[in-house]
Chains A and B, each alone.
Chain A
């Protein structure tokens, strides 16, 4: 399978990349790690006339704490995130995800920015970033703007970047005191997309859940927060009944499709189970 023909550019700076985007607009597609884009091009699901390869923008490769948040450069390879002591020690939901995204060889190429910008509800980072309450930084001809993650995913494979903007950084708030988070994924085998997965971020006030953000992978046409599931927890003691109610709420509010990974009913029920597991893991980490 050979991709369609395309014009190829490999800019050396973000400014040059933005100029190319400004010139080519909707005809252009950014190539980062390529681990989603190139297969899509090979299947001719995507036939962009222009490719802007940003792999030379190595100054977009970093993982560091910066004021109140963790800053991840958009071109950071998933494997570097997995090796980051900072991520593994402090950002535990993200750390959970780093081990289960695709497979180790794919993670050497795949980028964090690409995983998010692709806006695929089957990818792992969208749910994690929604549950983290992350922000993404977009750079365009007029400079940068910060987009709250809740406003980033607008459709299947559709994000809220403008045609002349490039995602340059992801910001994850530092974990609040008494908070805990976890990402629990069920997959058929290493490298497959999730059957379903739950990202849960809790802040506890003693036994009571003071705040909760819950998001789901691959059980909705758009990466989604499970807001009913969050409401089922907030202000309550996390008893077995409350956790069950949250899992059931998530199962009801998601909208999975039947495929090789299972029926709609199966995916809803496994979502209920995964949300419960992630809540328990997050609560344990919060104490």
Chain B
């Protein structure tokens, strides 16, 4: 069995663990670190429920080996809120009812975070394209699009206050 020592930083905290080479990153996050906000939906790279950011880029964590993430910076849904203060995206999903069952939500929010990091002012079309790798079986997507639009607006207001 091939074992490797890795150090992976998740939401700002570095974790050093000895892992099997075949451990998937999503299992490292959920089972080794007990951060269960990242979900497993399809297991086949189709649904996007396991989307996280690796070095700032949205990827599906069910289709990466944890050993490949050695030395990387990872962000999961747990890293968004600052204490009791929700991230603008979380606030948007709350205010605009961007979820029903909530299963796709962590992945959807992480995809949206990546989208807004590259394009702070997306059109509706760009939002729909940006989340097209994330499946939602409840909402029909309209409320999710509104939630992301809300977050984009909110982030602009925040930037104005800090600027």
Contact = CB atoms under 8 A, between A and B. Distances in A.
Interface of A: 1-8, 10, 31, 34-35, 38-39, 42, 51, 53, 55, 102-106, 108-109, 190-191
Contacts of B21: 5-8, 51
Interface of B: 1-2, 4, 20-22, 24, 43-46, 48, 51, 57-60, 63-65, 67-68, 70, 111, 114, 129-130, 132-134
B22 A6 contact: yes
A105 B111 contact: yes
Contacts of A103: 48, 132-133
Contacts of A10: 67-68, 70
Given A1-B43, A4-B22, A8-B4, 5 more contacts: A3-B22, A34-B63, A35-B45, A103-B48, A103-B132
A53 B22 contact: no
A38 B63 contact: yes
Contacts of B70: 10
26 contacts: A5-B1, A6-B22, A7-B21, A8-B4, A8-B65, A8-B67, A31-B65, A31-B68, A34-B64, A34-B68, A35-B63, A38-B24, A38-B63, A39-B44, A51-B21, A102-B133, A103-B132, A103-B133, A104-B111, A104-B132, A105-B48, A105-B59, A105-B60, A106-B133, A108-B114, A191-B46
A105 B58 contact: yes
A230 B64 CA distance: 40
Nearest to B64: A34
B68 A55 contact: yes
Contacts of A1: 43
A105 B68 contact: no
In order of increasing CB-CB distance, the 6 nearest A-B pairs are A103-B133, A8-B21, A105-B133, A190-B132, A3-B22, A38-B63
Q: Which of B45, B46, B65, B133 has the most CB of A within 10 A?
A: B45
A85 to B, nearest CB: 15
B65 A38 contact: yes
Contacts of B43: 1, 42
B133 A38 contact: no
Given A10-B68, A105-B51, A39 B57 contact: no
Most buried by A among B1, B20, B22: B22
A105 B64 contact: no
Contacts of B24: 2, 38
B65 A34 contact: yes
A4 B2 CA distance: 11
A190 B133 contact: yes
Contacts of A53: 65, 67-68
Nearest to B111: A105
A104 B129 contact: yes
Given A31-B68, A53-B68, A105-B58, A2 B22 contact: yes
A8 B2 CA distance: 7
Contacts of B63: 34-35, 38-39, 106, 109
B146 to A, nearest CB: 20
A149 to B, nearest CB: 26
B54 to A, nearest CB: 9
B64 A109 contact: yes
B154 to A, nearest CB: 23
A109 B57 CA distance: 9
